[in-house]
Every structure is written in C-alpha cells, then in structure tokens.
Structure 1
Amino acid sequence: MSELLWQKSGVEVDKRIMQFLAGDDVLLDREFFLHDIQASQAHVEGLARIGLITAEESAQLVRELAELGEDFHSGRFILDDSYEDGHSAIEARLIARLGDIGRKVHTGRSRNDQILVASRLWLKEKLAELVTLCRGVARVCLDRAARDDLPMPGYTHLQRAVVSSTGMWFAGFAEAFIDNARRAADTLALVDCNPLGTAAGYGVNLPLDRDFTTQRLAFGRLQLSPIYAQLSRGKFELAALDALAGALLDLRRLAWDLSLFTTAEYRFVQLPAAYTTGSSIMPNKRNPDVVELMRASYSAVAAARCEVEQLLSLPSGYQRDLQFSKGSIVHGFTRGLGALALLPNLLRELGWDAAAMRAAIESSMYATDVAIEQAAAGVPFREAYRRAADTANEAGQGRTPEASLAARVSPGGAADLRLAELERRWQAGEISDASRA
C-alpha cells in the first residue's frame, strides 16, 4: 500500500488493522473515482482563484487529473489495494507526476468533503438515471394503454372481482411510474447541493471560493453549513434509496402480476423468449426467471436502506462508521437500476392471450354493475347490493365485457382512462440537462 495520507512518524501500522480499516473501500471508490477527479479539478481551480496556487500550477494539476481520468477509464490506471482509497490514489499520482505541485492539491480540503462531493455527484447521476428509467417505463405503459383494449378479469384478494382491461392495467402502472419519476426528480433537487469546501466539517481558515466550485460542478446550490454537510451524509443517501425503493415497489407488484399471469392456470400473458430461461433438468420448462429477479430486486434496496439508517445512530460531526454507506448505495442502486432498465422492453414485447382472459370472466363479475345500475335507478345502494348478491351467478346474462367496460365512465375508469392527462404529466416531468450534470 502506498504511503498513508495520515501516517505519523514513529507509529507502526498494523497490517491487520489496516485491512479492517480499508475493507473494500478502494474497490468501492472505483464507482466514485471519476467524480472525485472532477471535484479535484474544481478544487484546484478554486485555489488558484484565491492565490493559493499559481495559474500555471492549477493548469498542470487540472491537466494531470484529466489524464488520470482517461487512464482510469481506459484501464491503464487500476485503482487497487496498493492504495488506501481513491483519494490517496489521486494524490499519489499527482505527487509522482508533479512533485511538490502535487502535494498542494489537498490544501483546504479533507477526505471528508472529498467523498461527500464525489458521492453527491454520483447520487445526482444515479437519480437522473432513475428519472429516465421511470419515464421510459411510463412511456411504454401509456403507449400500450392507448393501443390495447382487451377485457380481462380484475382481482381483489387474488379472487375474480370485476371486469377490467389491459388498458386499465397499463394506465395504472403508467401513472405509478410518472409519480416515481417525479419523486426521483424531487430527490435529485434535494441532493443537488455542493459540500466541497466544508473540509472536515468545520470549514477552514481560507477564503475558499465555494460559489465558484458550485457553478463549476453544476450544483444547484451551495450547502452552506459544514456541520450540516456532515449531517447530510447518510440522510441524502436514504432519500435517494427511498426514491429508488418507491419505483422498485411498483416493479415488484407488476412482476407479481406477470408471474401469476404467465402460469398455466391463468395463461393471460406470453413473455418475450429472451426474458425466460430453461430448466436444468425439466426439458418442458420455460421459467420467468427475469421477472422473478425483478420481483426480488426490492430486497437489495431495502437492505441498503436499512444498513444506512442503522449507521446514522451517531452524534454530529464525521464518524468513520459512514464509510460503510458507500457499499450500501452502490449495491442498492446497481441492483435496482439494473432491474428497471430491463422493464420497458419487457412491457413493450409481452403479449396478451385475449381468449384466455375472456374465458376467465365469469357471470358473477358483473354483480357490481348490476348493483350500481339499480342504485342509479333509485334503489338504495345497500338494498341493491343485497339483490345483486342474491343473483350474482346470473348477473352476466345478456352482458358482455365490452359493455361493462364502456359503462365504466368514472374518471380513470375503463371508459375514461384520461390518458391525455397522464400524457401531460409525463411531458411535464422531463428534467433539465443542468439537473443531470
């Protein structure tokens, strides 16, 4: 391992303790490394603006940082356990290339605000991706709700309840993911603040140009209080995981529907072949493994959220416990976004079996229609309910699923899906390029 940034003379470092301290930190820092480099460039430019380094020194540092980023991206530079973490790797590289100029890069900053700003930039990127994915899911659902109008059973308590339609099914998930995109965008706006320059949580005795680094890194605002910068670590990660979890909860319920609908007992849905796998022993099987793992993906996000929340039983100020939050958010977002990325094409390509769905609509599923028709004619609803219940098995005589759906005129019902309103909300939910930066 390279020389430790914090090592004191005369103190021997125990390798076992060092391994425990580092853990898999340097591997996780690969996720944040390019963001750390980006923030380091802004930092040295800010140092030049207040005269701490010369313009030429700033230019050399920025140039070397850019080359390090290119080397890392191409694989010429590997961030491995020869470094304690990504921060020390950046400084070691600059010192190796620029000598004393490289030793100036850490002036006025701490590893605390380095990881804060790098992880903040990473969270912005992931939340922007979440917005895009949720909007993509909603787009497919809106398009298919407008195109597909097939009768199907609607269920409550997993029992056949009333006549529904594929249009209603798609419209329901369209609205859900429009809201998920909005929630992710709102969370992005919350975390879009610059902690760079707060150092170890108490500021420094230098007139750092924090407004400049805020603009340079495309943050929406400056995070003013150094103490709050430390308090927000973990808090903002929880907010981001909450936004991701909201989308994954809807994915879980959608995946449950598809898991049921693809069974031989339902036969409502045919999945695209690419989204199924074969059995290792049963030649006749095609299994909905992708859908099942989509359903399971929420568990990774919930586990990440739980771990971060448990870490936050802390006083104010930086505590090393927070190091463990990096693995949580990386794992949660990797699993969650990976599952969501597969969803639009699945929804685009799945097929409905119109005959199987129609065959599953039984006479009693019109009983609610009968009760409401009688109530509309003046029969007190509870009396109409009892009459319909007594004759439920004959309720469908002379009725068709199409007529039942056409009569469902309440806003959002099958005859009035309000897709134009959902389209307006979808259009209004696009986030700006600046917010993605």
Structure 2
Amino acid sequence: MKLWDKGIATDQKIENFTVGNDRELDLVLARYDVLASIAHAKMLAKTGLLKEQEATDIVLVLEDILQYCNSKSFTIDTDFEDVHSKIEFMLIEKLGATGKKIHMARSRNDQVLVAVHLYLKTEIGELKNLITELFELLLVLAEKYQDVLLPGYTHMQIAMPSSFGLWFSAYAESLIDDIIVLNAALQVVDQNPLGSAAGYGSSFPIDRMHTTQSLKFSTLKYNVVAAQMSRGKSEKTAAFAMSSIAATLSKMATDACLYLCQNFDFIRLPGHLTTGSSIMPHKKNPDLFELIRGKCNKIQSLPYELTLLTNNLPSGYHREFQLLKEGLFPAVENLKSCLEMTCYALQNIEVNTSILKDSKYKHLFTVDTLNELVTRGIPFRDAYKIVAEQIEKGTYTAPEAISHTHEGSINNLCLDEIRQKMQAVL
C-alpha cells in the first residue's frame, strides 16, 4: 500500500531505491506516528470534520496499534512503503471507509515532521536522564578521591599538580554545558508542525492549537512553510547538541586510555571489563573506552553530514530529507549506549593513590615553590629564575604540602556549587 497510489505501478528498481531502508528506520517512529494520529483524529472531531463516533472508533483502534508498537512486535512488511501507510492500512482493515478519513487535512510531510519532533523530544529527555546519572557519579568520585593527587599536563609534558577530585568534577561540570545545549535543541523541537500538511497549509478549518496541546508541545510552529523548513533543521540542531555530549565523552575516554596505560598507571579497570590479545597473554585492553571514543567521534561528524544533506535545498519538501534518519537514529542509540557504558566503567574504576612517589614527578610543584617565594616578597621574575636555577643544578626540593584555596582549585573543588549549577539548568 502506498498513500500516493494512483493505480500506476512503479518500476521495482525505482521502488527499491527510493524506499531504501525506510521500513526499518520507521519502526523508531511508529509509536509517535500513532500518537500524532490520535491527536489529529480528536482535532478532526472537534472541528466537525469527523463525526464523534468515527473519531472514537479511530482512536480506539489507534490505541490498540499503539500497544502493538510498544510491544516491539510491530513490523512494516514489504507491501508497505513506510510506517504511515502501514498504520493507515491497519485502520482501514478494522474500520473500512472510516479508516480512510484519517488522512484528511494532513500529508505524509507533516506526519513525519511531527513524529520526528516527538521522537527527538523523548530522546532528549532520555539523554538528560543519562547525563544526570553520569554527572552524579562523577561528583561522588570527585569527593571520594579529592585528596589523591595526579600530575597535570600541558603539551603532553608534566606541568602542575592536579587531583582526581579535579579530574572527575571537571567532566561533571562540562556535562552542564552539554545540558545547556540540549535544552536549546529541545526548544527547537518542542514546536508542533502538524497541520502544515505538504508545507503550505490546508483549506480544511483545522484547529492546530488543539493538536499542539494534545501532544504537549510548548508552542505551535505557526507559519506552515517554517514548519516544513524545520525538517532537517530540527535534526541538525539535535545533532549539534549530541555532538557536544560526544565531545565530552570522547575526551574523557582518551584520558582514561592514557591513564590506564602502564606508562601512566593512574587508574585500573578490573580484568572482566577489559579485553585480551590473540597472541599476547598479558594484554588487558581498554577496548571499552576506545570504542566510546570512536563512536563519539563519529557522532561529532553527524551535524556536518546533516548539513551537507540539506544546506543547498530550497524551501519545501525534498526526498533527501528521508536520508536524515539514516545518520540520526543510530547516533542517538550509540550516544545513549556510550553514556551508559561510561557510567558502568567508572563505577568499577580503581585509582592509584601513590602516583607522585615516582621520581619523574619531582618537578611537578615548581610553580608552587615559585609562588611561595613571591609571597615572601621576591618579584615574580626573580623567583622564576631562582627556581629555574635550582632545577638546572639539581638542587630543587619539592614542598611537602600545597594549598590551593581559590574556587575550583585542588583544595576547594566547589562540588556543591557545581551540583547547584546543574540543578538550575535541569
């Protein structure tokens, strides 16, 4: 069944090429298409375009279909072009002529638009929940290991003292930025495009505010052309937000891979969370973090993939929009998986509490020594030369203790303030 079938058979090669893997991808949108159809049917009844009994019958069947979709057993057979035609066929199969009325005052264009918007709203909410879980774990680890020092690096050279408290809470606070970007994406997708039809509205006296409220959108995308133009823009905006999260996870995964290396030996993973080599029996590889890094780097390319698909298209619908789903849907699942696995790994992480006993870190505290001389009244440049000379002569001795008291430093992590900042953006 094709919603546009006029009795003219399509060449099989053309059909295979134009449908592509849409049936598989549309399974993601099935429940959202049903929810939008329920709202649409109720609106048609309110405006008198459907009789009350017709709308009631349609809604009851759609609610059954929704349960079917939620059960994960819903399929789209090759007889159908997409999810929209499958659901409409199921309505007609149950209700006959009444089922044929559901497509009144809408198009597949605004059907897929509203389904994608509803999907992205849901997935953004799930991403925020997963980020919050990781954020809380990072703060717990920061507090637990706040007194364990580790070397900080610049140019991949030993630089200044850091701590696990700083490291864990740095990524926690970075996740706040990612939530802010996600919130911006949510504002973009939380606008109802239903009723824009093929992109130029409808001559039917529909009530678009009714479906906006039914589907719990914050607002309506008023201009019907603007609603159609949100196809591609919504996906791209969400992809940029996902890219921000992926960048945070990728950087942390890279740190973890370095810190797990025997040359660093800052952290360890239990053996059951590592993988081995086919010929080297001693290997315990951090494949988990390497794949998180790789998957997240792929996700960071997604906004540019979607940009290249859409950046030279004029207003109105174009079939290229179908290809947006190919990159977006798997990326969402991969990002959720990366967040879950980062949490899973960090719950089992083992921290080396005696890193700085290694003699190669003896110059880690030179800046602290320099600053101490300055507090005694020695000009900074003179103090710098004094410490540099000690290093060259091999007479430098590191201080026994350090005190970094300003906000966000080793001895003043401001974990409560970071938590409050997250609560504010959530």
- 3-state SS of paired residue (2:161): strand
Q: Report the counterpart of residue 208 of structure 1 in structure 2.
A: 206
Q: Given the alignment of the two structures, is residue 427 of structure 1 paired with residue 423 of structure 2, yes or no?
A: yes
| CA separation of 1:358 and 1:47: change in aligned 2, threshold 3 A | farther
Q: Given the alignment of the two structures, is residue 93 of structure 1 paired with residue 113 of structure 2, yes or no?
A: no
- 3-state SS of paired residue (1:154): strand
- Where do 1:172-191 residues align within 5 Å? 172-191=170-189
Q: Decide whether the 8 Å contact of 1:131 with 1:180 is kept in 2.
A: no
Cα distance in 2, alignment partners of residues 357 and 297 from structure 1: 33
Q: Report the counterpart of residue 253 of structure 1 in structure 2.
A: 251
> More deviation in 341-350 or 82-91?
341-350
Instruction: Output one character per residue of 1:231-266: Cα deviation in whole Å (capped at 9) or x when no partner.
Output: 111111111111111111111111111101111111
- Where do 1:312-327 residues align within 5 Å? 312=310, 313-327=312-326
Q: Report the counterpart of residue 131 of structure 1 in structure 2.
A: 128
State the one-letter code of the partner of 2:399.
R
> More deviation in 75-84 or 411-420?
75-84
Shift of 1:76: 4.9
Shift of 1:181: 2.0
| CA separation of 1:96 and 1:288: change in aligned 2, threshold 3 A | same
Q: Given the alignment of the two structures, is residue 16 of structure 1 paired with residue 10 of structure 2, yes or no?
A: no
Q: Report the counterpart of residue 409 of structure 1 in structure 2.
A: 405
- 3-state SS of paired residue (2:354): helix
Instruction: Output one character per residue of 1:136-157: Cα deviation in whole Å (capped at 9) or x when no partner.
Output: 1111111111121201111111
Cα distance in 2, alignment partners of residues 34 and 395 from structure 1: 71
| CA separation of 1:98 and 1:354: change in aligned 2, threshold 3 A | same
| CA separation of 1:57 and 1:272: change in aligned 2, threshold 3 A | farther
| CA separation of 1:106 and 1:358: change in aligned 2, threshold 3 A | farther
| CA separation of 1:70 and 1:166: change in aligned 2, threshold 3 A | same
| CA separation of 1:358 and 1:249: change in aligned 2, threshold 3 A | farther
Alignment match of 1:293 (pick from 291, 307, 314): 291
- 3-state SS of paired residue (2:79): coil
Q: Report the counterpart of residue 370 of structure 2 in structure 1.
A: 371
Cα distance in 2, alignment partners of residues 311 and 301 from structure 1: 16
Q: Report the counterpart of residue 32 of structure 1 in structure 2.
A: 29
Shift of 1:382: 2.7
Q: Decide whether the 8 Å contact of 2:243 with 2:301 is kept in 1.
A: no
Please tell me the root mean square deviation across aligned C-alpha atoms, in Å: 1.7
Q: Decide whether the 8 Å contact of 1:300 with 1:336 is kept in 2.
A: no
Instruction: Output one character per residue of 1:281-323: Cα deviation in whole Å (capped at 9) or x when no partner.
Output: 3322221111110111123313332221111120011111111
Q: Report the counterpart of residue 303 of structure 2 in structure 1.
A: 305
Cα distance in 1, alignment partners of residues 422 and 73 from structure 2: 43
Instruction: Output one character per residue of 1:18-72: Cα deviation in whole Å (capped at 9) or x when no partner.
Output: 1111000111000111000010000001000000111111111111111112223
Cα distance in 1, alignment partners of residues 362 and 166 from structure 2: 20
Cα distance in 2, alignment partners of residues 387 and 230 from structure 1: 68
Cα distance in 2, alignment partners of residues 8 and 360 from structure 1: 81
Instruction: Output one character per residue of 1:379-420: Cα deviation in whole Å (capped at 9) or x when no partner.
Output: 3323322322222365762523xx22xx11222111111112
TM-score (norm: length of structure 1) = 0.93
Q: Report the counterpart of residue 384 of structure 2 in structure 1.
A: 385
Q: Decide whether the 8 Å contact of 1:268 with 1:356 is kept in 2.
A: yes
Cα distance in 1, alignment partners of residues 307 and 396 from structure 2: 53
Q: Decide whether the 8 Å contact of 1:388 with 1:395 is kept in 2.
A: no
| CA separation of 1:267 and 1:360: change in aligned 2, threshold 3 A | farther
Cα distance in 2, alignment partners of residues 209 and 301 from structure 1: 38
TM-score (norm: length of structure 2) = 0.95
Q: Percent identity?
A: 36
State the one-letter code of the partner of 1:99.
G
Shift of 1:426: 2.3
- Where do 1:257-276 residues align within 5 Å? 257-276=255-274
| CA separation of 1:371 and 1:395: change in aligned 2, threshold 3 A | farther
| CA separation of 1:349 and 1:396: change in aligned 2, threshold 3 A | farther
> More deviation in 221-230 or 363-372?
363-372
- 3-state SS of paired residue (1:162): strand
Shift of 1:75: 5.0
Unaligned runs of 5+ in 2: none
